[in-house]
Amino acid sequence: MGVPRIDFYVLPDHKENGRALLACRLADKAYSLGHTVYLFVASETRAAALDDLLWTFRQDSFVPHERYPLVGDEGSPVLVGTTTPAIVEARVLINLSDSLPEGFERYQRVVELVDQHPDVLAQSRERFRQYREQGRAPETHKL
């Protein structure tokens, strides 16, 4: 597998669900393009909230997803979890955690979501620096 493309999407403000809604929109788009997605979050509480939001974020949205680790054998094209999977089946990693995801280099694309909350900005700058230290060239997209 090659070097993953790393994109930082920067929201212009800080809203309660801003990053989660953006994650849902990006997961929906990736799914509609035939990609598999792993949504990596920092806590079970956030995973549960994102799980619910994926059903309701848009009137006509349907993003087939489930929580990781899986209960059965069959995996949905979109997974939500708090741990890095041992075997990466997803092509796109959407990082909603506060740290650099372990094993990020096994994905084709890594998406970092940033809003204007001071803590989120500081953590995002640190991850940006860490990616660059590892020889990656992250791109920034202001929304």
Q: Within 10 Å of residue 88's Cβ, how many Cβ atoms?
A: 17
Residue with tokens 């997209």: 141
pTM of the model: 0.94
Residue with tokens 């212009």: 12
Assess contact for 12 and 143: CB atoms under 8 A. yes
Residue 77 confidence (pLDDT)? 93
Residue ranges per domain, the chain? 5-142
Query: What is the CATH number that goes with domain 5-142?
Result: 3.40.50.10110
Residue 78 confidence (pLDDT)? 95
List the pLDDT tens digit at each of the 143 positions of the chain: 568 999 999 999 999 899 999 999 999 999 999 999 999 999 999 999 999 999 999 888 789 999 998 776 667 899 999 998 877 789 999 999 999 999 999 999 999 999 999 999 999 999 999 999 999 999 999 99
